[in-house]
Chain A
Amino acid sequence: MLEAISKYLDQKVAPASPKFDAHEDSIADARRALFEKGVTQIAYPAKYGGLGLPFGIYELAMELVGNADASIALSMAIHNTVAEGLLQFGSERLRQDLIPDIISGKKLASFSLTEPTSGSDAKAISTKAKRVGSDYVLNGSKAFITNAGEADAYFVFASTDKGPSAFIVDGRSPGIQFGGDLPKLGMRGSRTAEVKFTDCRVPRDMLVGEEGKGFEYAKSMLNGSRIVMGSICVGIAQTAFAQAVAYSKQRRAFGSPISEFQLTREKIADMKTGISAGRLMCMHAARVRETGGDYASEASQAKVFATEMSLKVCDSAIQLFGGHGYTTDDVHRHWRDARLLTIGEGTSEVLRMLIARKELARSL
């Protein structure tokens, strides 16, 4: 199954990836094709249109997507976090109405938590949701939102009198507005923009779970998502590594290929060792999740390690390419793509705090 995905990505997606980075082409068609292939259906129960397979298979599939194009992987991963939230906390009606369409890609989804002045600190959100009759009325804005403006459904966190709460907001609702696509260092194929709510009415049955539990929901949803972000970074690193290894065998200096030099070999060994370790950490976190354990620490460890490892590997790839690395989009775009992920879905700093807190609590 993974081999089939890999073959498709190699032949149909990876060749177009530089064009997505250069804004010469949109990721929409390739993303739709991957939805249709079933990548986002892998870990969902058959009753909601899923394939009923372990989360670890999804996590590995997303590594392959990240390997072919990081922007598509990011867009798909964030999209699928919404289905995860509905599966964990949504009413049966919301699950049946939305999960099949989201995981098959018929509806594109967006996870809207971050605000201009709050990120992982979800308790501090300032977007408000006020009960008016049978609706909630939302006011406020969300920042750096992936898939904003393209998505059909937004998983929005807003505070009611009881605290942070989660809502599904239709992308066509009156009162929802989107900012322009933000110019980004990397992940340029995916759309990132502000989402603004002005007296945006949301029907009461679009509340996910219970009022006041949004912070708990966000934490739980992000755990799964963090493993996937780590996997995407493993994929990015693998692409940069493969390019750099091929170049090191071809580029000659002082009469021999640079792959013959000890310092090049040290880089190659360290790059590959990091990639393997990152992959194993993501697989391990997925395994702990599958067995029903508390995997918040393992997911965060996997994300911290894999994202930081990916940056180092992509940096070494640029170094091996020398001047060409610094001046060629197709080499430095991997570093630019990976750079997001020590920030998005929980910064490395926040995640280290989380890991330490969990481990201190686990110790006797």
Chain B
Amino acid sequence: MRVAVCVKHAVDETELRIDQSGTPLVEGSPSKMSSFDKSAVEEAVRMRAARGGEVTIFTVGSPDAKRTIKEALAMGADKGVHILAELGTVDTLGTARLLAAAIKMAGGFDMVLCAEGSSDTYTGQVPPMLAELLALPFVGYARKIEFKDHVVDVEQSLEESVTSVECALPLVVSVVSEINEPRYPTLIQIMQASKKPLMDVPRDTLGPAGFSGGNVGVVSMSGKPMNRKHIMIEGTPDEAAKKLLDALASEGVIPK
């Protein structure tokens, strides 16, 4: 069983600072593996443990993105492919084209796993685009993947329902984080990760896809201020409890 996992070296949303005008200071912000991607890596590593085979990590990103690939290798993936592209030079379609070209070049995968979206921009566009470009079926928002002979049974966690679909291999699946609890690698696994194969792929070696940056440009980004109400409730405990219940009811938190 050969599994490709696409991961993103994303801006660490917990460290992102916003300037006084409300603009996120993306450049120079700390970055890390998109947190949802860890579930995709974990699922692939579990599949390999159960069914044998190989797990290959693909990422598009700046030289710093190697840290994310190494983290996935420490979690148990076998090798990594790093498509070199500077931050902001490709949009989602450009990313999907680069990934598709590299996955085709490596060839022979039974499954391509992605996360439902990235923890920084969360567009969720790359997985279905990738499936289209690879001409493979796509199943999104998987919370459980079960193998039955040559097909997979996937439980999709949709907004208000759970749907079960059966699909033949090969396919592209995007997973939700409830699918598993990603492991924390041990120190020896972190050390061993640096000895695993990690291939650099310059964009221009990927044919026409390598020159496709995409058509979408970011005009502006801004942080949305969240104003807290700071309602102070006074009075005896009984009076305060009643006022609190009234306040919560009027906000729609609890029924009136």
Contacts and interface: CB of A to CB of B under 8 A. Distances in A.
A72 B214 CA distance: 51
B190 A8 contact: no
Interface stretch (B84-92, B181-189, B229-237, B238-246): B181-189
B191 interface: yes
Contact of B188 (A5, A12, A41): A41
Interface string A1-29: 10011011000100000000000000000
Q: How large is the interface on A (under 10, 10 to 19, 20 to 34, 35 or more residues)?
A: 10 to 19
B176 to A, nearest CB: 19
B184 A4 contact: yes
Contact of A39 (B71, B74, B187, B191): B187
A44 B72 CA distance: 26
Contacts of B186: 36-38
A351 interface: no
Interface string A175-215: 00000000000000000000000000000000000000000
Nearest to B184: A8
A360 B43 CA distance: 62
B187 A1 contact: yes
Contacts of A98: none
B189 to A, nearest CB: 8
Nearest to A38: B187
A42 interface: yes
A contact face: mostly helix, strand, loop, or mixed: helix
A30 interface: no
Report whether over half of chain B's contact residues are helix, strand or loop; otherwise say mixed.
Answer: helix
Nearest to B74: A4
A270 B187 CA distance: 34
Contact of A41 (B74, B184, B185, B187): B187
A35 to B, nearest CB: 10
Contacts of B187: 1, 4-5, 37-39, 41-42, 51
A51 B184 contact: no
A1 B184 contact: no
Contact of B191 (A1, A7, A8, A37): A1
Interface in B12-38: none
Nearest to A37: B186
B253 to A, nearest CB: 24
A31 to B, nearest CB: 15
B74 A51 contact: no
A4 B187 CA distance: 8
A42 B191 CA distance: 11
A304 B211 CA distance: 61
A326 B187 CA distance: 39
Contacts of A37: 184, 186-187
Interface of B: 71, 74, 184-188, 190-191
14 contacts: A1-B190, A1-B191, A4-B71, A4-B184, A4-B185, A4-B187, A7-B184, A36-B186, A37-B186, A38-B186, A38-B187, A38-B188, A41-B187, A41-B188
